[in-house]
Structure 1
Amino acid sequence: MSAPQSAAAPEVDPQGGSPLLTPRIEGLLLGRALVFTVLLGAALVFQYNQSSGIEEAADLLLSLSPIYGVIVFVYLISILYAVIYRNLGAGEARPRFFAVFQIAADGLIVSYLLLVSGGTRSVFPFLYLLIVVYAGILLAGRGAFYSALLCSFLYTLVLWGLNWLPEPILESLQPFGTRVPTMEELAYASFVNMGSLFMMAALVSYLAERLRLTGERLARREIDYAELEELHREIVTNLTSGIITIDDRGQITYLNRAAEEMLGRNLTQVYRFPLRSVFPEISVAVEQSGDTANWARPEMRVNGAGGTHLVLGFSVASLGEAASRNRGSIIIFQDLTRLKQVEARLKRQDRLAAVGELAASIAHEIRNPLASISGSVQMLETSADVNPEDARLMAVVQREINRLDALIGNFLQYSRLMELSIAQADLAALVKDVLETFQRLRDQPSEVNLLLGEGDLHARIDADQIKQVLWNLLINARNAMEPEGGKITVEVFREGEGGGATCGIRVSDSGPGVPIEDRERIFTPFHTTRVDGSGLGLALVDRIVGLHGGEIDVDDSPGGGASFTVRLPIEPPPERVAQQAPASLREGAG
């Protein structure tokens, strides 16, 4: 969006020309007829009042038939002006040319009116002043002076021309009071009227210039206000933070685009609806928090677009008061869901770093005694005098030793920094291989569907590690649907283009899903909801995905269960590739 400008060109008239000149000319077409009618009528009344009797008044009215003709002519020419004006071609010069034409024509009309209404004794010279006034309005100061010069020339021509008119014409004008003026009358009338015309031109020029400057300032201010309003609208609309405004009755009056996208509602759907009925979680959080404009943002959990669950940080402020009435409140909020996920991932990595330091030392401390115990139990099992009850107990001990050894192995695999063997791989082929193996498992009650997205599904990954990720997610989905079984959907997709493109795998099931309160903990080591679970399967998945520079999210699936989505960059970060485990840790794994 462009910054506000100090000045802007006026809008172009649809018929061409100045945006101010066109409506003024159109107003002049109507105003001319009205002004001539009123002024001439007033003049007739004035001259009638100056007559000495009815007979003289009747003679006067009959003698003024040319003036009536002027009135009719003005009406007709105004109509003609309108027709010609509407049919002239477009262009900047058209209104200006037409204005000059009207000024000249009106000057001739007034001159004729003076000629048939008494010459120097006429009451109509002031009409020249009106011509100067509207010339200044139409054409600014220069137009006022040019029109004053024209009117002065026409007025002088009328008065001095009476001296040169043939005798028959002068006799025909005598009934109207027109006669040849004396030199004193000529000098006086010329001086007074011409002086008045140029004084009026100067005044009109000054006022027109002031009007023009004021108009430009107002136009600039209007443009500035319009652009500021547009800028404000664009800023509010394109903010990544959501904005909701409510009035003093708690009714929604505005949602910006970010709020609509986060909450899955648009303004037309919720306008003037109570906030409590449309977004109850937000309403409760706002009521509990009060005005938060001056302190840290509280957080709330809401249901977002598409059934997602969002963590929002928000603040509430009053919109102020107008006329002693509260105008309502504004709620500004940001989606902190991804930030919270990153925070949780960083916390898990911090815990992992601490665990890794202990892993090497506890490996020998636990595995070596386990090996000794296991060997001793095996020797006891080979004794000839072992009774059945002792044999059963030794089998239990051996089974638990094996389970504990496997748990330690999983723990060491999770805690050590793995080396990634990065190579170009086809995710679609990789997923098909894992699914083929998964479907051969015994007691496999699940129906598995594969959806392959469009586009290039290749990425540089550690294929074995990503297979481990998919395997763990499939086992997790199958366990979630036991014992009845259900439907597992695996989707491979690509998102974005260029350097920010990602490939992803989504595993959805039709099980009971993952409660919202557990979603932040399911990737934590040793967190499990199964009696026989180690709590390391999803933790290992999160670890491998993190090493690839990717992300994993959990949400509700369309089928009602859980949906785990893994997104991997097409090219993993260089620092993630070929990470070697410390020597002590590799030794402890043996």
Structure 2
Amino acid sequence: MALSQNIRRADINPFDHHRIMKSELNILLIEDDPDAQANLVDILGHDGHQVSLACSLGDIRSLGIQPRFDLVILDRRLPDGNVEEALPSLKSLLPNAEFIVVAGFADVESTITAFRLGVTDYILKPVHPDVIRERVARIAHEKRVMREMHRQQRFADQMMDTSEALIVVLDLQGRVERVNRHFTEVMGWKENTLLGEDYIDHCIPEPERARIREVFQATVAGKRSTGVRNGMLTTDGRIRQVRWTDSTLTDDDGEITSILAIGVDITDIVEAQDAAARDHRLAAIGQTVTGLAHESRNALHRINTSVELLRLDIPIESESREEVDSIARASAELQNTLEEVRQYAAPIHLHRESVFLHEVWRRVWGYLANARGNRDAELIEAHCGCGCPVDVDVLRLEQVFRNLFENSLAACDDPVRVRVDCKCDGQEMIFVNVEDNGPGLNAEQRQKIFHPFFTTKARGTGLGMSIVQRIVEAHGGDVQVVDAVGGGAKFKMRLRKPDSVNVTLCADSKVKADA
């Protein structure tokens, strides 16, 4: 505040640096009696407070005083008004200040009114130095405590906002009280959408919820947990792996009030470890399959040759012909199995070219015409106007759609409806959903669907979906399985668009099975 002849800083020795440095409070003294003014300035200045002076309420209002004062000491009766009339406007001008009223005499009614208006203290004249010093010292102490609390709160807030750890505070029922900025950035959840919600139901994948509730209850009971790893659901449906340390927050009496969870996102580490383990397994599988294929090739060739010779000698109508055909089918199945395992174990080297996705899946659906036979099967398409251009290895991507379509045809009873939705995000990714109207997958099947050798079919190697995952990830994308609306299985893929491609507009359409 600029000081004028009306409001001025009380005179302090300019060479008394120690007194200025240890100043406790910024005090505004409103007093029109020069003797009382000088007495209070001397008392307050001696304790290191900075004192500014005003002689009337008009001085304050006319200068538009800034709200920098910690304390206002004012005479109850001033030339242009009394405290009861002036306090409401003074408090709005000085929202951070405490108020002490000094009065020559006081009646019960005016004192009660002053306290109702927010006065901190009420002192009678003549002012005893020890009284005013004690009252001001108490206010200074309270201000210091409040400043320290605010400082610690700001520090805690800054730690929460700048930490690259995931921080979650829960109440004792598991509801979210607070999350930090890094949590919202990594997981996509906005704090205001999570506050008051059950943390485990919203953020933990369903298969892990029971285990995490046990950990939470143990923490509520006072047991500190560390190194707990679990998946975390993001708003886009992906799962990130986080390692947590949980502890309790307590009140002044030592009672537990909240649960503090601090986590580190280890998704990249887990994926790197899984990839290394997978590569090791693939190398072992590849070596094994190569040896098997080498040893089996001649035997399978002899079997097939012998079968063909037998077919020449045995009439079609003969009962023995069925047994021969069974041997041929078994030989073909064994050869297909060896080839599928070989494809799974072999390194993926991509030969990319820019194509439109709908051209790829339509071609694959056409390839499966014999597999569909006379079944009531329909492919339903829905894609954005750009046609969804991608940079992919076409043969590999055809294999992805072939495996997905074959699984749907095997799982669904007629009528079979396979829907492919495809749309761009306007930037660099394309989202592809393939869903069917079959029985869908249970929780265990969804969790294991991409595991090698896991299958829901009566026959098969269980490598089809593992191959799909490897091909999609080799393209820099990802794939996951969710429940389709109304039942069935739904596979969600993300693929990267090419840097530049000629875009052709296409309309939504339906492709019939007999097309």
Q: TM-score, normalised by structure 1?
A: 0.53
How far did residue 256 of structure 1 move?
0.9
Tell me, what secondary structure is at the counterpart of 1:319? strand
Match of 2:82 in 1: none
Pair 367,305 (structure 1): closer, same or farther in 2 beyond 3 Å: same
Task: Confirm whether residue 388 of structure 1 aligns to residue 321 of structure 2.
Answer: no
Match of 1:506 in 2: 433
How far did residue 397 of structure 1 move?
0.9
Match of 1:424 in 2: 354
Partner residue of 2:169 out of 244, 248, 258:
244
> Residues 20-70 of structure 1: CA distance to partner in whole angstroms, max 9, x if unpaired?
99x966x626x659979xxxxxxxxxxxxxxxxxxxxxxxxxxxxxxxxxx
How far did residue 561 of structure 1 move?
3.1
Pair 453,221 (structure 1): closer, same or farther in 2 beyond 3 Å: farther
Distance in structure 1 (CA, Å) of the matches to 2:480 and 2:392: 19
Task: Confirm whether residue 479 of structure 1 aligns to residue 407 of structure 2.
Answer: no
Distance in structure 2 (CA, Å) of the matches to 1:483 and 1:359: 35
Task: Confirm whether residue 556 of structure 1 aligns to residue 487 of structure 2.
Answer: no
Distance in structure 2 (CA, Å) of the matches to 1:434 and 1:276: 40
Distance in structure 1 (CA, Å) of the matches to 2:476 and 2:199: 43
More helix by share: 1
Q: What's the RMSD between the two structures over aligned residues?
A: 5.1
Pair 384,86 (structure 1): closer, same or farther in 2 beyond 3 Å: closer
Q: How does 1:393-404 map to 2 (within 5 A)?
A: 393-404=323-334
How far did residue 348 of structure 1 move?
3.2
How far did residue 316 of structure 1 move?
2.1
Match of 1:168 in 2: none
> Residues 56-96 of structure 1: CA distance to partner in whole angstroms, max 9, x if unpaired?
xxxxxxxxxxxxxxxxxxxxx97xx54575346x699xx9x
Partner residue of 1:517 out of 430, 441, 444:
444
Partner residue of 2:287 out of 338, 342, 357:
357
How far did residue 382 of structure 1 move?
1.9
Pair 410,19 (structure 1): closer, same or farther in 2 beyond 3 Å: farther
Tell me, what secondary structure is at the counterpart of 1:492? strand
Aligned 8 A contact 1:423 1:460 in 2: yes
How far did residue 506 of structure 1 move?
2.3
Task: Confirm whether residue 538 of structure 1 aligns to residue 452 of structure 2.
Answer: no
The one-letter code matched in structure 1 to 2:408 is: A
Match of 2:338 in 1: 408
Pair 382,345 (structure 1): closer, same or farther in 2 beyond 3 Å: same
Distance in structure 1 (CA, Å) of the matches to 2:7 and 2:443: 65
How far did residue 394 of structure 1 move?
1.1
Pair 557,283 (structure 1): closer, same or farther in 2 beyond 3 Å: same
The one-letter code matched in structure 1 to 2:423 is: F
The count of aligned residue pairs is 390
Task: Confirm whether residue 256 of structure 1 aligns to residue 187 of structure 2.
Answer: no
Q: Which runs of 5+ in 2 are unaligned?
A: 11-25, 38-53, 70-78, 80-128, 500-515
Match of 1:64 in 2: none
Match of 2:381 in 1: 450
Distance in structure 1 (CA, Å) of the matches to 2:465 and 2:222: 41
Q: How does 1:203-242 map to 2 (within 5 A)?
A: 226=150, 229-237=153-161, 241-242=166-167
Distance in structure 2 (CA, Å) of the matches to 1:552 and 1:417: 19
Pair 456,243 (structure 1): closer, same or farther in 2 beyond 3 Å: farther
Distance in structure 1 (CA, Å) of the matches to 2:311 and 2:8: 108
How far did residue 354 of structure 1 move?
0.9
Q: How does 1:5-16 map to 2 (within 5 A)?
A: none
Aligned 8 A contact 1:263 1:303 in 2: no
More strand by share: 2
Match of 1:298 in 2: 228
Tell me, what secondary structure is at the counterpart of 1:317? strand
> Residues 400-442 of structure 1: CA distance to partner in whole angstroms, max 9, x if unpaired?
1122222222222322224321223333543454456568943
Distance in structure 1 (CA, Å) of the matches to 2:364 and 2:200: 49
Match of 1:86 in 2: 61
Aligned 8 A contact 2:423 2:431 in 1: yes
Aligned 8 A contact 2:375 2:414 in 1: no
Tell me, what secondary structure is at the counterpart of 1:469? helix
Pair 386,308 (structure 1): closer, same or farther in 2 beyond 3 Å: closer
Tell me, what secondary structure is at the counterpart of 1:298? strand
Task: Confirm whether residue 566 of structure 1 aligns to residue 478 of structure 2.
Answer: no
* Higher Cα Rg, which structure: 1
Aligned 8 A contact 2:432 2:492 in 1: yes
Pair 221,416 (structure 1): closer, same or farther in 2 beyond 3 Å: same
Distance in structure 2 (CA, Å) of the matches to 1:306 and 1:570: 19
Match of 1:28 in 2: 30
Pair 231,437 (structure 1): closer, same or farther in 2 beyond 3 Å: farther
How far did residue 369 of structure 1 move?
0.5
Distance in structure 2 (CA, Å) of the matches to 1:487 and 1:371: 40
> Residues 539-579 of structure 1: CA distance to partner in whole angstroms, max 9, x if unpaired?
2212322332332222333343332222234479xxxxxxx
How far did residue 351 of structure 1 move?
1.5
Tell me, what secondary structure is at the counterpart of 2:30? helix
How far did residue 300 of structure 1 move?
4.8
Distance in structure 2 (CA, Å) of the matches to 1:454 and 1:350: 43
Aligned 8 A contact 2:176 2:194 in 1: no
How far did residue 447 of structure 1 move?
4.5
Aligned 8 A contact 1:308 1:555 in 2: no
Distance in structure 2 (CA, Å) of the matches to 1:550 and 1:429: 19
Distance in structure 1 (CA, Å) of the matches to 2:418 and 2:314: 51
Q: TM-score, normalised by structure 2?
A: 0.59
Distance in structure 2 (CA, Å) of the matches to 1:276 and 1:382: 66
Partner residue of 2:401 out of 470, 474, 485:
470
How far did residue 531 of structure 1 move?
1.1
The one-letter code matched in structure 1 to 2:160 is: V
Aligned 8 A contact 1:554 1:564 in 2: yes
Tell me, what secondary structure is at the counterpart of 1:382? helix
Pair 233,367 (structure 1): closer, same or farther in 2 beyond 3 Å: same
Q: Which runs of 5+ in 1 are unaligned?
A: 1-11, 37-76, 96-105, 107-203, 573-590
The one-letter code matched in structure 1 to 2:178 is: L
Provide the identity percentage.
20
How far did residue 535 of structure 1 move?
1.7
Match of 1:132 in 2: none
Tell me, what secondary structure is at the counterpart of 1:352? helix
